[in-house]
Amino acid sequence: MLTETHPNAQWLSDVYRGGAAIASDPNLDEDERERRQKEHAQVIMSRMSPNMIIHTGGVRLTVTAGMDFLTKYHKRRAMLSDVNVQPLGFDQILADDYYGIVHGTFRTARGDVVWTRVGMGAWRFEDGIAVEHWELSNGPKWDEFFLAGDPDFNGSALEFWTRGV
């Protein structure tokens, strides 16, 4: 049964709530924030399989790929936004030995364009290690936001997310 007290749920809570706390802490200067975010990312990555599979958001921009792609994908998303996918709050974070689900509110921004949305992240675990992740959001709006950051692009989703990184 999915619970919020399962160790995988506790890990997901740290991933999302911990990252949000670092991003929104008004007492951190940019250097300290960056240091803590990097440290947080290393802790997260230690519980992710090197064969991790991600299913990105979007319709036209959806990609299913591995860990090498995931690193490029995160960099490209950051290049296309001033505020990447920033978690704002969470309604539920539940997991069991096999699956986890995160339901919350997220914000992404570029210039004056701010996209705040309710979304979900689904996770699959094997032996306490995250092996697969699905980004669940409004696919057409996902495409609209990110394609607007590179309006002249015309190619595959994989080419879009790895362009310039």
pTM score over 0.75:
yes
Please tell me whether residue 22 adopts helix, strand or coil conformation. helix
In the numeric block, which tokens belong to residue 44? 């997260």
What pLDDT band is residue 158 in, cutting at 50, 70 and 90? very high
As a whole number, the mean pLDDT across the chain is 94
Average pLDDT over residues 144-157: 96
User: What average pLDDT score do residues 112-120 get?
Assistant: 95
Mean pLDDT of 14-36: 90
| pLDDT tens-digit map of 43-95 | 988 999 999 999 999 999 999 999 999 989 999 999 999 877 888 889 999 99
Identify the pLDDT of residue 62.
96
pLDDT at residue 160, rounded to an integer: 98
User: Considering the chain, what percentage of its residues have pLDDT values greater than 90?
Assistant: 82
Q: Which phi and psi angles does 24 have, rounded to 5°?
A: -105, 5
Average the pLDDT over 4-27 and give the result.
92
Q: Assess contact for 162 and 72: CB atoms under 8 A.
A: yes
Q: Where are the alpha helices (DSSP H) in the chain?
A: 7-13, 19-24, 30-45, 67-79, 139-148, 157-162
